[in-house]
Amino acid sequence: MPVKIGKVYLVGAGPGDPALITMKAVSCLQKADVVVYDQLVAGQILNYSRAEAEKVFVGKTVKMHFAEQDDINSLLVRKAKQGSIVVRLKGGDPFVFGRGGEEADFLQKNGVPFEIVPGITSAVAVPAYAGIPVTHRGISSSVAIVTGHEDPSKKGSSINWNGLATGADTLIFLMGMQNLPQIAKRLIECGRKPQTPVAVIKDGTLPVQVMTIGTLQNIAARVKKEGITAPAVIVVGGVVKLRERLSWYEKQPLFGKRVLITRAGPQSASFESLLYEHGAMPVLFPTIEIKPIIRNKKLEEAISRIKTYDWIIFTSVNGVEIFFQRLHKIGLDSRALAHAKIGVIGPATYKAMDSHGITPDFVPKIYTGHGLLAGLKGKKITGRKILLPRADIADDEITKGLVRLKAAVDEVALYRTVRPGYDRTELQDMLFRGKVDIVTFTSSSTVTNLVAGLSRKEISSIRSKIACIGPKTAQTALEAGLTVDVIAKKQTMEGLLEAMEEYFREEI
């Protein structure tokens, strides 16, 4: 029986900021069997694809091509004819200098179904993040997007330079850094005024975005002096002057700050998104790894008598997810908890419970163990039977507090937090050579695991600022020899972000 032909989605991933990907693109990634991606795609975007999906890198850089276009075309056809759903993921928009038209044409000729999913092009988005509108009433009513990859000095250019120079108010050159001197010279020769403003924006829409402003006459020299390299977008025209009033991205308190995330990989995504949204560059370096306890007799016994508990209290998202995984494995669901009141330690745990169809009965005003116990004092838990599913290394503050409130507590370890292996050289680069501005700790174990391989002298030499989610984590950091610069007033990721913003705002 012949294999049913799959389908290829030619998908634009946007200009760099992972939040600028479209909902349609995410939907395609979530169902893809194969993802063929290029150099300009932010790594975080690949996280939308399924873990089991095959991922094939075919990127191009200035110095190296990992795959020729003919090979990419053949790969798409081959994978689709094997029955796969294929996403061809491209930076920006697939039809704006992305060779999407060539790939679509090849697919059509080979009888492979395809669909185009437009993306936000860097030609518009990068200037926007720099505070430069490509059109503006009274300044620019036309815009041209031009490849800068073609050398303007060569004979037989496909670009009409005489018409281009004065034919559009705003000119956007993509992939033009190598030819910038020639581009500026040709535009002047063909009638554009030498004093025309020019902006060169490197790594646009990302927290490491940098920009050089000049004119056609001096922009090449300025770019060389400031060391601006590809990838960059070149904007030519009067709209460049508007950035003096409309600049917004660089004004965020965390703009350009490199923030080290030490929490477990799967849990870092929401914090990573928050950091991008506030102009910071996340640097992932998980110092803990969550390992469910597989043969967990104590948990199985607790679930077998689940109806005997008056309260079930969850202190982490991990606890919620692993508990429900085990519940589902034995054929039960949220209805098994219908008789019990549910307590959670904070909004993230609340949200995790809500995703399983349960609205918690109690969440404290202060998201700490102490806050949890203070709130439970008024809940008449004396004599009540409480199940407390949590990590194996969690301290006994909550357990002892519940016992003092004369509750009967069954504490059950659901998972272990272990220290993953990591590159010591990479860690030293980040901490001792200023590669990250601030290190974030979201639990005592993230602190303990980070410093485990460091000497006291090395710890005292750390140049990065230290931010902790709460006083308990901060205390662990202080005891380890770290200087704590930021402590969140509210023990949430949003609270940690706010505290960091406040710190850097005061530093300015």
Q: What are phi and psi of 355, to 5 degrees?
A: -65, -20
Q: Which of 33, 79, 175, 500 is catalytic?
A: 175
Q: Is 64 a catalytic residue?
A: no
What separation in angstroms does the CA of 209 have from each of 190, 228, 229, 230?
31, 11, 12, 12
* First and final C-alpha spacing in the chain: 69
Strands in 258-261's sheet, in edge-to-edge order, are 281-284, 258-261, 438-441, 465-468, 486-487
Closest CA to 91 of 118, 63, 65: 118
Angle between helices 369-376 and 397-404 (to 10 degrees): 20
Do 476 and 447 meet the contact criterion of CB atoms below 8 Å apart? Answer: yes
Greatest alpha-carbon pair distance for the chain in Å reads 90
Q: Could you tell me the two tokens for 274?
A: 């928050």
User: Residue 239's Cα: distance from chain center in Å?
Assistant: 31
Q: Count CB atoms within 10 A of the CB of residue 249.
A: 18
Which long-range contacts (C-beta less than 8 Å, at least 24 apart) are formed by 67-72? 69/99, 69/102, 72/36, 72/103
Do 233 and 96 meet the contact criterion of CB atoms below 8 Å apart? Answer: no
Q: Could you tell me the two tokens for 463?
A: 């140049």
Residue found by looking up tokens 């504490």 in the block: 411
Q: How many CA atoms lie within 13 A of 437 on its CB side?
A: 18
Helix (H) or strand (E) holding 269: helix 268-277
In SS3 terms, 392-417 reads as CCCCCHHHHHHHHCCCEEEEEEEEEE
- Residue 500 DSSP SS3: helix
DSSP 436-462: -SEEEE-SHHHHHHHHTT--HHHHHT-
Q: Is 241 a catalytic residue?
A: no
Q: Which of 7, 17, 33, 38 is catalytic?
A: 38
Q: Is 60 a catalytic residue?
A: yes
Q: Which of 24, 60, 241, 472 is catalytic?
A: 60
Burial profile 288-304: b = 16 or more Cβ within 10 angstroms, e = fewer = bbbeebeebeebeebbe
| Residues paired with 188 in a beta bridge | none
DSSP 103-145: HHHHHHHTT--EEEE----HHHHHHHHTT--S-BTTTBS-EEE
Q: Count CB atoms within 10 A of the CB of residue 37.
A: 23
Cα separation, 433 vs 428, whole angstroms:
7
Catalytic center residues = 38, 60, 175
